[in-house]
């Protein structure tokens, strides 16, 4: 954690070079500063950590090919789906040209709506599935899962896949106690669900999780199996 503390103490300057690059995602000191308490997480922190979760999952599948198959969208998917605040399947049609999302077991979709991060998880079944919303404010916007369900229907039609019945659920998850921990809880919800952990076991302070996320970003890997 010493490196994390030194990053947090470092002045927010216009660094020309990233501290680390995760795939195509550069992480700068200014991005890591957003993991210090009292700050909102930005797309770089969110997508960097999601990239690490994807990498962990690839490793898990390499060890156990029979493990549940997970798919992680980045934070830009839903922004494109709701292009100019209007649903548009055509804008994201090519996002899945190399993947059959209906062959997945679980699909993670992080969403930012009016400066608030939350998570939609699609549980894909054989004949039916579930669109679940995990919102740390406990007040989800019903139009969001409806848009995701519409995308799933359009995706099946476009890719010539069987249609499914999609139900919408709002499972209980940890609630934030301030105005800025939504991004942290969204990332940890993805992490815990991917590992098959009960969200009730997320008992550490958000300050701890902030430091942990920063440390894992700097290390270029996340712990656990999922």
pLDDT at 122: 98
Whether the pLDDT of residue 14 is over 90: the answer is: no
Whether the pLDDT of residue 139 is over 60: the answer is: yes
Whether the pLDDT of residue 15 is over 90: the answer is: no
As a whole number of angstroms, the distance between CA 64 and CA 95 comes to 27
| Cα 219 to Cα 28, 49, 164, 172, distances in angstroms | 14, 11, 40, 31
Assign residue 123 a region (left: φ > 0; alpha: ψ between -120 and 50; beta: otherwise).
Answer: beta
pLDDT at 4: 60
Predicted confidence band of residue 43 (pLDDT cuts 50, 70, 90): very high
- Residues 119-155 as b or e (16 or more Cβ within 10 Å = b): bbbbbbeeeebbbbbbbbeeebeeebbebbbebbebb
pTM of the predicted model, to two decimals? 0.94
Question: Mind listing the pLDDT tens digit for each residue in 175-192?
Answer: 999 999 999 999 999 999
Whether the pLDDT of residue 16 is over 90: the answer is: no
pLDDT at 17: 83
Whether the pLDDT of residue 148 is over 70: the answer is: yes
As a whole number of angstroms, the distance between CA 17 and CA 85 comes to 34
Mean pLDDT of 133-144: 91
Mean pLDDT of 124-140: 93
Mean pLDDT of 122-145: 93
Hey, what domains does the chain have and what are their CATH numbers? 2-219 (3.40.395.10)
pLDDT at 8: 60
Q: Which residues are CB-neighbours of 191 under 8 A, at least 6 positions away?
A: 53, 222, 224, 226
Q: Which residues are CB-neighbours of 5 under 8 A, at least 6 positions away?
A: none
Predicted confidence band of residue 100 (pLDDT cuts 50, 70, 90): very high
CA 219 to chain centre: 19
Predicted confidence band of residue 128 (pLDDT cuts 50, 70, 90): very high
Q: Specify the pairing of strand 70-72 against strand 20-22.
A: unpaired
What's the chain's average pLDDT? Answer: 93
In degrees and rounded to multiples of 5, residue 169 shows phi and psi of -130, 160
Contact of 111 with 143, CB cutoff 8 Å: no
Whether the pLDDT of residue 3 is over 90: the answer is: no
Number of helical (H) and strand (E) elements in the chain, helices listed first:
8, 7
Give 135-141 contacts, CB < 8 A, sequence gap 24+: 135/170, 135/173, 136/173, 136/174, 136/175, 136/176, 136/181, 136/182, 136/185, 136/186, 137/175, 137/176, 137/182, 138/175, 140/170, 141/113
Predicted confidence band of residue 126 (pLDDT cuts 50, 70, 90): confident
């Amino acid at each position: 954690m010493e490196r994390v503390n030194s990053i947090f103490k470092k002045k927010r300057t216009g660094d020309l070079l990233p501290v680390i690059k995760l795939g195509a995602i550069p992480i700068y000191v200014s991005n890591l500063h957003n993991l210090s308490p009292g700050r909102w997480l930005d797309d770089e922190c969110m997508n960097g950590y999601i990239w690490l979760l994807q990498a962990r999952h690839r490793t898990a599948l390499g060890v156990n090919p029979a493990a549940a198959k997970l798919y992680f969208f980045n934070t830009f998917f839903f922004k494109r789906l709701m292009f100019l605040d209007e649903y548009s399947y055509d804008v994201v049609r090519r996002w899945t040209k190399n993947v059959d999302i209906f062959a997945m077991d679980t699909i993670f979709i992080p969403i930012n709506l009016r400066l608030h991060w939350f998570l939609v998880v699609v549980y894909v079944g054989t004949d039916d599935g579930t669109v679940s919303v995990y919102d740390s404010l406990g007040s989800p916007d019903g139009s969001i899962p409806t848009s995701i369900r519409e995308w799933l229907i359009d995706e099946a039609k476009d890719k010539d896949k069987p249609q499914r019945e999609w139900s919408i659920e709002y499972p209980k998850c940890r609630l934030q106690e301030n105005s800025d921990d939504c991004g942290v809880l969204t990332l940890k919800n993805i992490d815990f669900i991917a590992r098959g952990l009960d969200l009730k076991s997320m008992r550490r302070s958000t300050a701890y999780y902030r430091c942990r996320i920063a440390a894992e970003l700097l290390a270029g890997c996340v712990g656990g199996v999922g």
